[in-house]
Chains A and B, each alone.
Chain A
Amino acid sequence: MQHKHLLGLKNYPAEDIQTIIDTAFTFREVLERPIKKVPSLQGKTIVNLFFENSTRTRISFELAQKRLSADTVNFSASSSSLQKGETFKDTAQNIEAMKIDAVVMRHPTPGAPLHLTQHIDAVVINAGDGTHEHPTQAILDMTSLHERFGNLKGLKIGIIGDISHSRVALSNIFGLKTMGAEVTLCGPATLMPPFAEDLGVKVNYNVDEVIEWAEAINVLRIQRERMGGGLLPSVREYRNLFGITTERLALHKKEIVIMHPGPMNRGVEIDSSVADSDQAIILDQVLNGVASRMAILYLLLGGKQEEGNN
């Protein structure tokens, strides 16, 4: 691995992404065994540092760490001294002083993981930094696509929903572009980042055209708090224009793969029947999430670590 940390997928090397995906498949196989545990990270200590609520990502990481026999500590902002006014720097230095090997961090501010690397020596893995990146989610999405299609090169992927507030979208874009896939973004103009084309993607506001074009779509969660404000008029309007509904999919002959990073708002951005259908690989994504995170932890912390300390 060329980088010590996994902070984001922008400029992350294609060969390393491929290595992670390949390794994830070997761990997938481990996860199918009756005894789902390997000793790879025995003696390593990892702290899950969550400054923002998360259930799935934290559980997925924790499970990945346990399957690899690492020791883990969970730290979440609600139970921490942050509320007592401790600064980010103090928290980081305290963790460093406890001789931790890696930190998995979620933080509401873009750039926070990079900031953390300036304070500590441990490996830092970004589990989502505000509206910036969520690289492990993108890697598990790519692993799932790879599993389904055998290759990412030339694959046509639509990302549907609130793009401008989505770290999942940004990391997916960086990762998929690096791996040679084509990406089209689709969502309300108020939730589309300015200069989106500069990311090397297309933007199309017509979801039917995107479904027609794509081989897979990644449906993003629409947060209810965006509704009824200045950005989106109503759930009804959103569903009419962008909802992935049974009726809408029925208009298209070809069956495309449906992904969702979770948690879903059933009945808002995606219909329950679509989410539960055979064309959805949403639960495969969850399983691949554990396998991909095992791969990332193993590759960044494993036995072959010493040579690549940049």
Chain B
Amino acid sequence: MNISKLSKHVVLKGGTIIDPAAGTEKKGDILIENGKIKFVGKVEAPKSAQVVDCKGLVVTHGFCDLHVHFREPGREDKETLESGSMAALAGGFTRVCVMPNTDPPLDSPESIRYTVDRSEECLVHIHPIGAITKGQNGEELTEMGAMLSEGAVAFSDDGLPVTDSGMMRNALEYATMFDIPVINHAEDLCLKKNGVMHEGKISTHLGLSASPDITESNMVHRDLELTELTGARLHVPHVSSAKSVDHIRKMKKTSNRVTAEVTPHHLFFTDEDLVSFDTNLKVAPPIRTKADQKALIKAVKDGTFDCIATDHAPHTIEEKEGTFDLAPFGMIGLESCFGAVNQVMVKENKMDRVKLIQMLTVKPRRIMGFDHDLFSKGAEAELTILNPEESWIFRKSHIQSRSSNSPYVAHSLTGKIKYTIIKGHITALS
């Protein structure tokens, strides 16, 4: 991966421009001047311009991920805002929202300010999500108003659910004043117990303690009903089961207050992959069955899901090298994201590629209220250039994260990021 400053003039020459905001796909060039979009169409390159040959490549908006864990402060051995930014660039992401389950958690205006300040020197845009409750204890609301003024964009206790239904109601009600999304990690811990994988035929054969799909869908259903009651905005993260999809789809028919995301790994893997006891596949919520995977794919196609989010969750090799019961939940996912979802959705399930790219760009930006008309004149150049057809093997060498807990290693993926342009820099990927 090679990062360099953009020249005064840069021409992205001869690519296929997918404008996810307009839903269009056409051949053309883009002229960038001083890091800003100058012109989209047929460009005669100025003499001194840096020309990027985009023949055979797709030029589109930079990807936006609403769900990453960058571990700073507290676990900088796993990831920092800076190293996470490198992983984002490698995956074509120019903008990410970091979850607040750091140590200490992002549960105060001061910690939000710290993250915003630290992010300024990073090469992607980083937006903190604030904790719903102080210390993520599920007991006391955080100062949401002040945190929003410091730069928080949403609230979540991610990693942990808000178990107490009364507290969840309060959080949603309180958030209605600000019209921002509340994101609840939906797992009923009483049902989950010590479950480390999805409860099904495979867990029975493996003897691993497991939790059933309703561990998630019960709480998703509760949250949807609370949203209806309070009129708040709910964003459902990392949906993993067919039952949760059903609840969300039904609620979306009558409510525009609900949005939902799906991860690449829940689309790519099934519980059958766990027969290897690969601790990198230990995630929360767990990888579920083929039938769930099918339902998730359908929900991507029919728009039940608004966006793809990686839930990039770095853990040290020492932690993941241990036994299955002791390994922490989570996998990294930024670097492998596009190759995985493009393979599953476009190559294998014939989804329109413009629609998939919308789920990585304009749709997540809309949820958070970020600018999403990125090809308009004067907009900051925030672009991703990719080869949608390229088939490649994901290797450890593709990982830019400080951690390497990826189950994609040695898997074949389709679609590869070639350049990421953001904050006046261009990152070239090999």
Q: Which residues of A contact B (CB under 8 A)?
A: 10, 87-89, 107-112, 114-115, 129-133, 167, 170, 193-196, 198-199
Contacts and interface: CB of A to CB of B under 8 A. Distances in A.
B1 interface: no
A273 to B, nearest CB: 33
Taking each of A109, A133, A194, which has the highest tally of chain B beta carbons within 10 Å of its own beta carbon? A109
Contact of A87 (B207, B208, B321): B321
Contact of B206 (A108, A111, A194): A111
B205 interface: yes
B326 to A, nearest CB: 7
A80 to B, nearest CB: 15
Nearest to B199: A194
A170 B207 contact: yes
Given A87-B318, A194-B199, A111 B324 contact: yes
B141 to A, nearest CB: 32
Contacts of B209: 131
A38 B188 CA distance: 57
A187 to B, nearest CB: 14
9 contacts: A109-B324, A109-B325, A110-B324, A111-B324, A130-B208, A167-B207, A170-B205, A198-B201, A198-B205
B323 A112 contact: yes
Contact of A196 (B204, B321, B322): B204
B73 interface: no
B201 A195 contact: yes
A193 B208 CA distance: 11
Do most interface residues of chain B lie in helix, strand or loop, or is the interface mixed? loop
Contacts of A112: 323-324
Given A88-B323, A109-B325, A115-B277, A195 B204 contact: yes
A177 B79 CA distance: 48
Nearest to A107: B323
B51 to A, nearest CB: 48
A21 to B, nearest CB: 23
B104 interface: no
Interface in B232-291: 276-277
B243 to A, nearest CB: 15
Taking each of A107, A110, A133, which has the highest tally of chain B beta carbons within 10 Å of its own beta carbon? A110
A133 B212 CA distance: 22
B41 interface: no
B61 to A, nearest CB: 42
Nearest to B318: A87
Interface of B: 199-201, 203-210, 212, 276-277, 318, 321-326
A173 B30 CA distance: 65
Given A89-B321, A115-B277, A131-B209, A109 B326 contact: yes
A110 B321 contact: no
A89 B319 CA distance: 11
B325 A194 contact: no
A107 to B, nearest CB: 7
A199 B204 CA distance: 8
A288 to B, nearest CB: 24
Nearest to B197: A110
Given A114-B277, A194-B199, A194-B212, A109 B204 contact: no
A107 B203 CA distance: 18
Contacts of B325: 108-110, 130
A111 B202 CA distance: 13
Contacts of B208: 110-111, 130-132
A91 to B, nearest CB: 11
B204 A110 contact: no
Contacts of B276: 114
Contact of B207 (A88, A114, A133): A133
B212 A110 contact: no
Contact of B323 (A109, A196, A198, A199): A109
A170 B208 CA distance: 12
Given A87-B318, A194-B199, A194-B212, A199 B324 contact: no
Instruction: Identify the 3 closest CB pairs spanning chains A and B, nearest first.
Output: A111-B277, A132-B207, A109-B323
A186 B207 CA distance: 18
Contacts of A196: 204
Nearest to A10: B205
Contacts of A111: 206, 208, 277, 323-324
A109 B200 CA distance: 18
Nearest to A89: B321
A193 B204 contact: yes
A19 to B, nearest CB: 24
Contacts of B205: 10, 170, 198-199
A86 to B, nearest CB: 11
B277 A110 contact: yes
